[in-house]
Structure 1
Amino acid sequence: MTNAEADPLLLLRQSIASGGAIIPTTTADPSPNIPEVPLAQATHLQFTHPARVAIPIDAPTRFVSNDRPVDLRSIYFAWLNREIAIPDYNASATKLNDELAGTAAVHKFAFVERLDLITWLEGASEESEYIKPLIGEKDGAPASATAVAATSKTVLVSSSARSGRGTLDPRLAQIYSGERRMGDRNTALRGIKPTDFSHVRKVAQPFMSRKTSSSTNTGSSIPSGVAIPSHQKPARRPDPIILLSPSASSLLRMSNVKAFLEGGRYTPPDHNSTTSMLHLSRIMKDIDPNRPMRFILVEGPEQFKPEYWNRVVAVFTTGQAWQFKNYRWSNPGDLFKHVLGVYLGWRGEQPPESIKSYGHRVLACSIEGWRDAGAPGAESSRWRDREVVEQIWKAIETNMRAKGWRKDAAPTSI
């Protein structure tokens, strides 16, 4: 079994991609028909695809939080509870820890860690700042991409070879189990013997010194004799964060903000929605015209680490002071000196006095009043929504540039 196939994190991602069964058990025996047990009683996690194998449920994974590897039980538990809000997730984790009775403990992920993990497990992202690369891999992304591609290929072949009753022919299953997995050109060219190229440095040193000397003579600030490593990978730019108002009177909530900020059309919020975080992408032309920036949207900073506040680029507010109670700056005057404020109201209505008192630090925008979709002229009244959305994004982008956001870097303080 290869490193990729034996890795618990990659096995879980492959099983999710293929729809294979993942069974908590009390035995290391990977045989079929092993009974499923509750997660608090399980000692192993049995995977059925791409290989039938049982992994200890407390096995450490490559996902690192606070410089410590997170165990497989915590990873799988976070995936099972990916649809619920952060408070409900924390309550479920506390309940499971009580059932474990001190024999083990489920790690509670911070909201950014949880979003990053779920995005990677779903296959929507090939990289994660919290996941270490596989042993022998320079970068974890190529191995992950190759493994997922191989999984998809196996699923297609298996589906086409199923008999009329919807089951796989046992003889074909035996043949498939003996198939040799083919890698891509990166794994094929890497080989099994590491090659030492340190002698190249001595050969290249005179040329590098000559080049840097000529650069210095033409006004370059690079010191003579210093070689610049061209293979160095730039640091991953963190995702900016937008905070929404949790107030029930807010026109923008988690249920409708994506359609408004991405689609340019306002719809009333669904107050029964339990979504606690989401992300959207947008090209910020004056910061990075070639790569879209991914924004994280959340209603509260309960799961924030101190450094997350340096990534907050906008705060949507209704003007109610209780919204800022748990913020880094609980006083609105101090808050909006560091972060752009945005107020969204109905056209023709005056903003609250609290919004006016914040002055130019809060952008006040107005949209047309909502009409039922079946009412005459309802659709035509929404053409101005996109104009308001562009006004908001322009203010966010201007504020981000002023705070130090760049194509490959984010501010260390705001």
Structure 2
Amino acid sequence: MAATTAGLPPDPLLLLKQSIAKGSPPIPTTDPDPSNQAESNVATTYATHLIFNLDSPQDGPQHIAIPMSQETRFVSAAYGRAMELRSVFYCWEKRDMQTADYIRSVQLLNQDLKKAGRDYTVTNIQFAEKLDLVSWLQGEITDHESLYVKSLDDNKEARVEAKDAAKQAAGDADVEMRDAAMDDGKRREEEERLRLIYAAERKMGDHNTVLRGVKIQDFSGIRKYSTIFLGKAKNAPNAAQAQANTTTLTNNPALRPPVKPASGRRPEPIILLSSSFSSLLRMPNIKSFLAEGVYTPLESSTEAPNILHISRPLRTIYPGHATRFIMVDDPSNFRPDYWNRVVAVFTTGQTWQFKNYKWQNPAELFSHALGVYVGWKGEVVPDTVKGWGRQVMSVQIDKGSNRWRDREVVEDIWSQIEARMRAMGWGK
């Protein structure tokens, strides 16, 4: 494709593309006439023109000088305007730069322009637009595939009108009034031709249509289903089990705040479990482990209530009486005074477990309650657990079928919990 159309001004963007394809990049210069021996190959700071050296089969070698301030067909969506040749050429020169380096170089260049007393700057072309521009200049995409380069055919009529307006302003009597002389038959033929062109155009969507589609979606009807998916109710085989499963911490009498000693009711300590699927101990198997001393492997379909009770005699806390512990894995419904009753926290070493806790920092959390990490025997303890120090105990259970070893691990856990409770003042 020729860089110029007969009688029309040269297209700087197309000239740049052709010169890149021929391996003859344009030369920055301070004078549009190469015969004046002006300084060429100057820095972008001082250059005022780009000289394109092209070979035409009809006219032979051509030297076309384009002002660097001339606007191109590359229209930036970020700035809402056409980019001048200076910014486009500088973007091409820095095409291999990383984004941060390119932005920094534009800033430094504009500082140099200001120091040199220039009244123009170079525009920082955004990453997506820069990628589109470089791909177009290298010939990897066409006008119709580019999101930011306006088609030359779309601009042809506007450029002809601009040329005619310039001639008319200069008093040229040979201005061709094509539209005025066009008869109805020719006009209809032209409109039909344009209609066929528009029908074959590739429809390009904007940011909103690409991400969200052209149809506005109404999701207000989903609200009525939110309680089903986000609530704490779980399916149960019968109504009694369903009622037990939907019992929350706030309406369960076992989680009332500590009452006065005169009432005769002792506050019940709380043990928090991890809800992570990587945890070996969760609500379905914690009771058999801590109460019976036997580890039961978890099954994906196993359902369990969201609150459990385990009674355990503590010799140094309440001698002669069993202490009832409360097991939960979600403290989102805790009242402030419940946190004073938390005595142990089972963890997998993942800090996201503590995002709804009163103490989200592990160091602060385990200064108030004992941390317990339970892993497989022979596996390495996570570095996060090791980094929490002596406030978190690490125990390991056998992977095999020798479940008689579990009771020894359980007794060790209860011993540490009792020691921590004694240090916290329980039983006094």
Tell me the TM-score normalised to structure 2 length. Answer: 0.41
Between 1 and 2, higher relative CO (CA 8 Å, sep ≥ 6) is seen in: 1
Tell me the TM-score normalised to structure 1 length. Answer: 0.43
